[in-house]
Structure 1
Amino acid sequence: MPAESTTAAAMPGGIGAFEKWLSVWVALCIGAGLLLGNLVPGIFATLAGWEVASVNLPVALLIWAMVYPMMVNVDFASLRHVGDRPKGLAITVVVNWLIKPFTMAGLGVLFFEVVFADLIAPADAQQYIAGLILLGAAPCTAMVFVWSQLTRGDPTYTLVQVSVNDVIMIFAFAPLVALLLGVTDIAVPWNTLLLSVGLYVVVPLIAGAITRRWLLTHARRGESAEAAVARFTAAIKPVSVLGLLATVVLLFGFQGETILTQPLVIALIAVPLLLQSYGIFFLAYAAAWAWRVPFKVAAPCALIGTSNFFELAVAVAIGLFGLNSGAALATVVGVLVEVPVMLSLVAFANRTRGAFPSS
């Protein structure tokens, strides 16, 4: 039996033996990041300083390693048929731009002006709400490729969904944030937005296309083009997982001291973020199920709205409110919450794939 078949049989949904325990490895990496961030903060301070336009280059490199394997699977010849299945795109656009920013703002106000009003100073509460709004208005660009790969999503369709999101974000992010924050002088860091899209989508997409073309022209004797691509992506998939784990160590290392010195604040900010993440996922997932969207489109469709474009949110928070502001802290907490949440949703999606059409 081929290696790909053995892996698929071992873990329904396409997750291999190592990835089956991915949540355990992530938990260990979170602990390692917190420990190292407090023991050797100088190293992480140096790594944090390696950035261009608020995009951290070490993290960007690791995300690139995660995204590249899926880009190899993108079949450009199939792009012309994406319009034949508009349901997934429709759900993505409606949930990400007509629902998610407003529910995030509503949850922020509910918790920090009502539920947690006695625990947080009013000025700090407004800062945290602002940070949550920035996260809610910035749907994911890069990491969704990782979550899609872990659910064996359609890579071509996922690329289209992300690309549509990016185009809408260029025009809608600033007006939405201005509306929800009640201000009009939102300075969108276009260099951050464009550099992130280039690093996380364009560059790996070009590299993936070149690799795919090479694989198709150098397939083994008797091997189909699809089998050649599958063999290659199976071989490099561990690089993607290791990139995810290293990213977790870095992110938690960068914020290790903050997390340990302000545990209550971190926990309070995490509450509305958790409710938003799970709520948005199940809303999109239920809509996809009711509309009979195939699983390989439905899973990425729901995961895109759940994940956030944290580089953009953090950059805008720092630009508007300052590096040590509550808004910046809230966007960072969004980063820390995202990985464990997304892994749990990936696991749920893989367990429920049988409820969706296969094609």
Structure 2
Amino acid sequence: MSNQVVASQSTTAPARLSTLDRWLPLWIGLAMVGGILLGRFIPGLSDLLVELEVGGISVPIGIGLLVMMYPVLAKVRYDRMTAVTGDKRLLVSSLALNWIVGPALMFALAWIFLADLPEYRTGLIIVGLARCIAMVVIWNDLACGDREAAAVLVAVNAAFQVVAFAVLGYFYLTVLPGWLGLDTQGLEVSMGQIALNVLVFLGIPLAAGFASRYVGERTKGRDWYEDKFIPRIGPWALYGLLFTIVLLFALQGEAVTSNPWDVARIALPLLVYFALMWGIGIVTGRQLRLGYARSTTLAFTAAGNNFELAIAVAIGTFGATSGQALAGVVGPLIEVPVLVGLVYVSLWLARRWWHINPTTGLPLSNRAEVKS
């Protein structure tokens, strides 16, 4: 009987996507272009966004990120997270990719592509040290990754970030270049600033998501919570994403359009970095037999970066108009379209490598579905 049920489910077409989901690349593209145009042609907008900062965090961008993250973290089934914390292969591989492979790869790419541009080179290295705790939950959700695993990995990397960021910054900007006979660069990093960043962009939406599920299930039951409440708040994740993208691109719209060659020079190593980190993550997950959902989560948590922290550190140490700050801002400008593209690559690989429907997690029933 159970086999018949699985076979029946696997041949059922997934639910029709909403207009927002179906045309997401178009909306993101329009948000990017709109943000650049706003920043380029509305005098003082980028200055206003910089002025609206509290503790080094831009309030409008912070609001956009919180709106973006809350619905995704409200979907997490927190009672299942113990199964993730017991998966040592996933946790160890995530820590290794995020804190050994990622920073080392960005250091190498920064020196290979930007050896003659020390400010941009330093900015890229800072981006490589800031591991993602925000947008990764969106990319993971869009790619049908494991929500519980994403929540755990983001939390683990956030805690590690508070301790490791300053130490690794000193190592990659001062110690290692000195050993190799290269130029060195100092970095002033406040542990309090990093902790505040983690608290705002992970702590608040995580607590809100947990509280929503706890109260909703206790008062209305799980069926109501997942069938009624989640569909109502779900679209707000993408609204928050688009709002944040507009602000990010507006913040440096003038700098991007005024220095297109510099932006192109910074963009090239970033393109290589995001593609390589995601590819290493997805292959590692497959080799460790983690399954599609957790392999995808591992790949996106390895590829994403905490752009808010990188920009805040660059501005705090080198100034808002510095090359380091520009490199930090170019990070999300490249990350957003690249990782959106990799979402679609993930969904394609679910059928090609794992032979499952990524939406349901069930095996595909025929070869035609594998090729689709």
Amino acid at match of 1:46: L
SS at match of 2:137: helix
What does the per-residue CA deviation read over 1:220-263, in whole Å, with 9 as the maximum and x for residues that have no partner?
xxxx6156324322221211111111111111111111111100
Length-normalised TM-score, structure 2: 0.85
Amino acid at match of 1:328: A
What does the per-residue CA deviation read over 1:12-47, in whole Å, with 9 as the maximum and x for residues that have no partner?
xxx644222211111111111111112213234223
Amino acid at match of 2:219: H
Which structure 1 residue ranges, 5 or more long, are not aligned? 114-121
Does residue 169 of the first structure (1) align with residue 161 of the second (2)? yes
SS at match of 1:353: helix
- 1:301-312 superposed matches below 5 A: 301-312=298-309
Matched residue pairs, number?
Answer: 337
Does residue 68 of the first structure (1) align with residue 70 of the second (2)? yes
Q: Which runs of 4+ in 1 moved over 3 A?
A: 183-186, 356-359
Using the alignment, how far apart are the partners of 1:205 and 1:155 within structure 2?
Answer: 12
Using the alignment, how far apart are the partners of 2:15 and 2:348 within structure 1?
Answer: 13
SS at match of 2:114: helix
Q: Is the 8 A contact 1:216 1:229 kept in 2?
A: no
- 1:15-26 superposed matches below 5 A: 16-26=18-28
| Matching residue within 26, 48, 51 for 1:49 | 51
Using the alignment, how far apart are the partners of 2:98 and 2:241 within structure 1?
Answer: 24
- 1:25-36 superposed matches below 5 A: 25-36=27-38
Does residue 271 of the first structure (1) align with residue 268 of the second (2)? yes
Using the alignment, how far apart are the partners of 2:316 and 2:215 within structure 1?
Answer: 43
Q: Could you tell which deviates more after superposition, 268-277 or 72-81?
A: 72-81
**Shift of residue 53, structure 1, vs aligned partner:** 1.8
Does residue 332 of the first structure (1) align with residue 337 of the second (2)? no
Question: RMSD over aligned Cα, in angstroms?
Answer: 2.2
Using the alignment, how far apart are the partners of 2:329 and 2:73 within structure 1?
Answer: 27
Q: Is the 8 A contact 2:296 2:346 kept in 1?
A: yes
- 1:1-12 superposed matches below 5 A: 9-10=14-15
SS at match of 1:41: coil
**Shift of residue 87, structure 1, vs aligned partner:** 2.1
- 1:100-115 superposed matches below 5 A: 100-113=102-115
Using the alignment, how far apart are the partners of 2:261 and 2:62 within structure 1?
Answer: 30
Change (3 A) 1:79 1:90: same
Amino acid at match of 2:78: F
**Shift of residue 184, structure 1, vs aligned partner:** 8.4
Amino acid at match of 1:81: A
Using the alignment, how far apart are the partners of 1:144 and 1:268 within structure 2?
Answer: 25
Using the alignment, how far apart are the partners of 2:321 and 2:49 within structure 1?
Answer: 18
Amino acid at match of 1:91: S
Amino acid at match of 1:37: G
Percent of pairs with identical residues = 33
SS at match of 2:290: coil
What does the per-residue CA deviation read over 1:121-140, in whole Å, with 9 as the maximum and x for residues that have no partner?
x4xx1111111110111110
Using the alignment, how far apart are the partners of 1:231 and 1:294 within structure 2?
Answer: 29
**Counterpart residue number, 2:179:** none
**Counterpart residue number, 2:6:** none
Amino acid at match of 2:211: I
Q: Could you tell which deviates more after superposition, 32-41 or 58-67?
A: 32-41
Using the alignment, how far apart are the partners of 2:270 and 2:322 within structure 1?
Answer: 18
Q: Could you tell which deviates more after superposition, 55-64 or 172-181?
A: 172-181
Using the alignment, how far apart are the partners of 2:80 and 2:95 within structure 1?
Answer: 21
**Counterpart residue number, 2:144:** 152
**Shift of residue 93, structure 1, vs aligned partner:** 0.8
Using the alignment, how far apart are the partners of 1:150 and 1:49 within structure 2?
Answer: 33
Which structure 2 residue ranges, 5 or more long, are not aligned? 1-9, 175-183, 363-372
Amino acid at match of 2:340: L
Using the alignment, how far apart are the partners of 1:83 and 1:229 within structure 2?
Answer: 24
| Matching residue within 77, 82, 85 for 2:84 | 82
Q: Is the 8 A contact 1:212 1:229 kept in 2?
A: no
What does the per-residue CA deviation read over 1:80-105, in whole Å, with 9 as the maximum and x for residues that have no partner?
22233222222211111111111111
